[in-house]
Chain A
Amino acid sequence: MTALAMDAPGVARGLKERLWDVVRLHATNPWTTLILPWLITFAIFGLNYAIWALVSRAAGSGLEPDAFANNGGVSWILVYMMVTAVQAMSATFRFALGMSVTRRDYYLGTVLYFAMLSVLYAAGLTVLGWVEQLTDGWGLGGYFFAPVGLDSQPLWLRAYAILVLLLMFFFVGATFAAVWMRWKVNGLLTTFFAIAVVLVGLAWWATDAGLWGVVGDFFTEHSIVVLLAWTLPFTAAAALTGFGLLRRATP
């Protein structure tokens, strides 16, 4: 046998290319992550718009000017993206391993893809929110693309809010997906139960130690920018947890 393989120079691709391969894998069929979310968003928006128009017509001039101001219907996308993360990972993980991808490259590429999706959706929603503002709520005073409570904030803050929240929901989704792939249903049920126990435990502790005032102060004393920034360590912890779990998952 001639030396075909053992000492072949590294035909293996570099890390960047390998991660990009995983990103492309997620986008191979763009339907779930890139098309459907927009379609649903526009469908919900269309229905909202129809209702605004209907109510405006029926109410005539008697309508309060800010009747449609607090909608925030777009917030649904946060939860949807968590579900998308779980779907995308459970759909592609076993296939990626079958394509000789390491778990590490798969997870890092997936994280990169989720981060790109977060930026894309944050940008898209911010632009739509901006148009919404310019058109005085699509001519009807209806606010859909501005996140609840942030409709009076500057545009950059809205973009920032959507971005960090999307990142958080994506990575929490990635963690749940990793739990699923590592331990399937039993793992998920145990995790949900453990989370519930921890939350109840924290509530006990906070009540017992009289900490609720402190908690309330935390939310009133800090600016919205700081509060949102506090999601980042949580997001990072979720991402790392997912990585640790997936490293030992088998197809």
Chain B
Amino acid sequence: MTAVIEVEHLTKTFGKVEAVRDVSFSFAEGGIHGLLGRNGAGKTTLMKLMTGQEFLTSGTVKVFGQSPVENASVLGRVCFINESQVYPENFRGKHALKAASQFFVNWDEEFARELIADFGPPLGRPIKKMSRGQRSAIGVIIGLASRAELTFFDEPYAGLDAVARHMFYDHLLADFSRNPRTVVLSTHLIDEASNLLDRVVVIDAGEILIDADAEQLRVEAVTLVGKASAVREFAAGREVLGIQQLAGMASVTVTGLDDDDRQAAREAGLEVGPVSLQQLIVSRTGGRTSATKEGAAS
């Protein structure tokens, strides 16, 4: 496995605000990587740093083994679809697609036409007059049809309805299997996208919180439901992500259980259930509200 992206001790400050704080991770070549986190967690900043749009404060970013900043040979292999992409004032949908077809060497015009037919953005309309969903559709079409070796999608489907979003997932998966490449997807619709993801990096307040194989994450974390006393007894000393209590019953989300632990939990009369990626991330990124804390304390 070669790493397409290597980030080491990366820090980015805007004035006094540390948007990204001493972050290190790497993305292997091939696969769909999720960059997840709350709004303002630093996902977009991180993507801008990886595509040379922002300048880092300290640390290193390497894409295809080199710094992406002002590096035409790296950027020529990268496509970054940014939710807040600004289009030229006088551009209509067709202008954006035409320009994109010129810039991306691997552009597949036939695929683009197929996507246009499916998503149906109004190509003759000025982009500034399009709805958020229509603008997103333009971005999604560019990102998929560009077939760049490394494609970043930053909240690619803001404003798209459920049908269009699933169309995006279907196209992404189908095209990805035909033309393997590296995709980095940032989204807060975590459960919807979780089946696509091979790897998950969760960023919160500028720092990496989770960096794990998606499958492993799904297996590792479980919810245990049972009598409050039994739940608390079992959870003591384990890595607890969240706990909820209702009357005499409690449910706890824990990680790091192996098969023996699961067996022990069952024997203790607890019900072992899966945890969705979303639940897992919510509980890790400040989802522990005062209500659940109280529940845990009582």
Contacts and interface: CB of A to CB of B under 8 A. Distances in A.
Interface of A: 1, 3-6, 8, 10-13, 15, 18, 21, 24-25, 28-29, 31-32, 87, 91-92, 94-95, 97-105, 247-248, 250-251
A18 B72 CA distance: 9
18 contacts: A8-B149, A12-B73, A12-B76, A18-B76, A21-B103, A24-B99, A25-B102, A28-B91, A32-B90, A91-B89, A91-B90, A94-B85, A95-B99, A100-B75, A100-B104, A102-B75, A248-B55, A250-B48
Contacts of A92: 88
Q: Which of B4, B80, B102, B103 has most A Cβ within 10 Å?
A: B103
Nearest to B72: A102
Contact of B53 (A28, A32, A97): A97
Nearest to A30: B90
B150 interface: yes
B94 to A, nearest CB: 9
Q: Which of B28, B71, B86, B105 has most A Cβ within 10 Å?
A: B86
B52 interface: yes
| Top 6 closest pairs, chain A to chain B, by CB | A12-B76, A91-B88, A99-B103, A100-B75, A94-B86, A12-B73
Contacts, number: 115
Contacts of A4: 29-30, 149, 180-181
A103 B91 CA distance: 21
A101 B70 contact: no
Contacts of A105: 72
B51 interface: yes
A100 B51 contact: yes
Interface residues of B, number: 50
A32 B126 CA distance: 14
A5 B82 contact: no
Secondary structure class of chain A's binding surface, majority of residues:
loop
A98 B52 CA distance: 10
Contacts of B99: 24-25, 28, 95, 99
Contact of A6 (B65, B76, B91, B105): B65
B209 to A, nearest CB: 26
Q: Which of A10, A32, A99 has most B Cβ within 10 Å?
A: A99
Interface in B217-236: none
A247 B69 CA distance: 10
Contact of B76 (A25, A29, A100, A247): A100
B64 interface: yes
Nearest to B89: A91
Q: Which of B89, B99, B105 has most A Cβ within 10 Å?
A: B99
A103 B70 contact: yes
A28 B30 contact: no
Contacts of A87: 89
Q: Which of B48, B53, B148 has most A Cβ within 10 Å?
A: B53
Given A6-B65, A101-B75, 7 more contacts: A10-B73, A18-B76, A28-B88, A95-B86, A100-B51, A102-B75, A250-B53
A1 B95 contact: no
A24 B103 CA distance: 10
Given A11-B105, A12-B73, A97-B53, A5 B90 contact: no
B284 interface: no
A32 B88 CA distance: 11
B98 A13 contact: no
A12 B1 CA distance: 23
A12 B104 CA distance: 10
